[in-house]
Amino acid sequence: MDTYGDLIAADDVLLFVNAAITSTGQREFHDDAGEQRLSLDFLHAYMLGNYRDLYAGVLALDINDHNAALIVRRLLETSGEATAGQRRSEGRLIAARLATLPPQRVYGLFDALRRAGVNNRRTRAIMRDWLSARPDLAFDAVKYRGALKRALRHAHLTPAGEELGAFLFAPRTRTRYATPLLETWRRAHHEQVALYGLPLTVAEGFAARHGIRRDAFLERMAPRMTRLETLRLQESAQRHGITGVPADLTRMPLTRLATYVLALPVEDRVRRRAELTRALESAAGRVAGAHRGSWGRVTAVLDDSFSAFGSVHKRRRPLAVALACHHLLAALAGDYTALWTSGRTDALLAHPYGPTPLGRRILDALDTEPARLVIVSDGWDNAPPGLAAEVLRVWRTRLDPGRRTGVVHLNPVYDAAGFDVRRLSPAVPTAGVRDAEDLPALVELAQFAEGRTGLSELTAYMDSRAARLTGAHRQEHTP
């Protein structure tokens, strides 16, 4: 049986997980960037100092890349404080998590370790193993040349092959490279046609040097762009009147696609309604997978109030998460009802507006007698203030003490002052959410926030996630 200390530890871990899912240290609607960073740094220091094993175990959960990199950095900075067993388990988790991060994020982490003077044997081994597992170091040498050079120097590593070393440290000493991509880079200095064989971000620099018009450049680069590059540049292409940069929306990740849709003018959303709706439903169906239609009767309360605008750094991010959750829940449910706080019924035309009458919408939602009620909101209930908490308290204690209806609150915004995501009521669990794709796992994780399970169950859950992550990593890298 869990002791009082175990219950406190479980609560601390869940609080940190919520922060690690939602906060990126950037400005939010109610908090500036400084407050976000200060609050997040405190939580990292607190968790590392008090629960090192659990802190490392959080790497296996669905936290955002910013916090994953921070955890890895702090673990490596404090290697001397870990036992031999901790270093082994942490090493496996770190290697597995780094393999899932975007390469630019990992190179940024390596730079941070270099600036902090962290150069112990463990750090060098982790850098060596990650670099040796890269599928194409020539590509990295072209796209992340400066970062790769610094990483090799910091880890005391020799580049694989004389040619790669020459390219990184003395590129003008060669009149020709045998590696096609390196030779393309060399030729791009004096041949315009060659730059179209380079990664987009590198080619952009050469295009500017050669004075190539932006519209002509984007049109010719379109076939080589990745899906995410195409999505990011489609608006730019439209401003230049380019029709040759079509985004394959049906293959885009769900939350990113929702962000793209909300960035479109309303008239464009209306004109492209069928295309955008098909794309969102297709993305949601891919996430739901085998669980499609298995959740029974589901009602969602979705926050599209003015605070769903987010901030200049996370423009419309809370609303995009709500829109993505709306489509995913529709795919998971057998019978689905969506209730937006604004009262609108056309999700495709959602925009941040008005107050947040969460209490009233929750009353409407409970009237539908759902098996699951999912609330997606930043938790600022203000029309009238506190009604949502009172509705949920009465529902749980008086009307549904047997929990016939499962209720979970998913919050996409970190509250720096409270060191957590803002909660609606102690009567229902709250979990942080960054991407709608994580919703099924977060609903599972939310059971621990209800107080009905303790540290032993939470630790077992985290261990199972860690085993899954490290097992998948070992499989992927076994010859």
Same structural domain, 195 and 243:
yes
Same structural domain, 403 and 444:
yes
CA distances from 33 to 17, 36, 37, 44, 380 (A): 19, 5, 6, 16, 19
Asked if the structure places residue 415 within a domain, the reply is yes
What pLDDT shows up at residue 237?
53
Question: Does residue 127 surpass a pLDDT of 90?
Answer: yes
Same structural domain, 293 and 436:
yes
% of the chain surpassing 90 pLDDT: 56
The secondary structure of 225-265 as a DSSP string is --HHHHHHHHHHHHHTT--S----GGGS-HHHHHHHHHHS-
- The CB-side HSE value for 285 (13 A sphere, CA atoms) comes to 8
Number of folded domains that form the chain: 2
Same structural domain, 242 and 362:
no
The answer to whether 432 and 421 are in contact (CB under 8 A) is yes
Q: What is the pTM of this model?
A: 0.82
Closest CA to 101 of 412, 441, 473: 473
pLDDT per residue as tens digits for the range 19-43: 898 887 666 655 566 687 888 999 9
Tell me the residue range of the domain where 218 lies: 189-247
What pLDDT shows up at residue 316?
87
Same structural domain, 300 and 242:
no
CA 183, CA 198: separation in Å to the nearest integer?
A: 10
pLDDT per residue as tens digits for the range 76-93: 999 999 999 999 999 999
Give the residues across from 340 on adjacent strands.
302
CATH assignment of the domain containing 416: 3.40.50.410
The answer to whether 298 and 333 are in contact (CB under 8 A) is yes
CA 449, CA 442: separation in Å to the nearest integer?
A: 11
Structure confidence at residue 382 as a pLDDT band (50, 70, 90): confident
Q: Which two tokens stand for residue 18?
A: 């919520």
Same structural domain, 338 and 441:
yes
Mean pLDDT of 109-128: 95
Same structural domain, 349 and 432:
yes
289 Ramachandran zone, left/alpha/beta (phi>0; psi -120 to 50): left
- Dihedral (Cα; 164, 168, 169, 174), 10-degree rounding: 60
Asked if the structure places residue 165 within a domain, the reply is no
What pLDDT shows up at residue 15?
86
Same structural domain, 288 and 229:
no
Structure confidence at residue 438 as a pLDDT band (50, 70, 90): confident
- The CB-side HSE value for 68 (13 A sphere, CA atoms) comes to 21
% of the chain surpassing 70 pLDDT: 90
pLDDT per residue as tens digits for the range 222-257: 777 777 677 666 655 555 455 544 566 777 899 999
CA 418, CA 422: separation in Å to the nearest integer?
A: 7
The answer to whether 390 and 360 are in contact (CB under 8 A) is no
pLDDT averaged over every residue in the chain: 87
Same structural domain, 307 and 400:
yes
Asked if the structure places residue 346 within a domain, the reply is yes
More confident residue, 402 or 261: 261
Same structural domain, 442 and 333:
yes
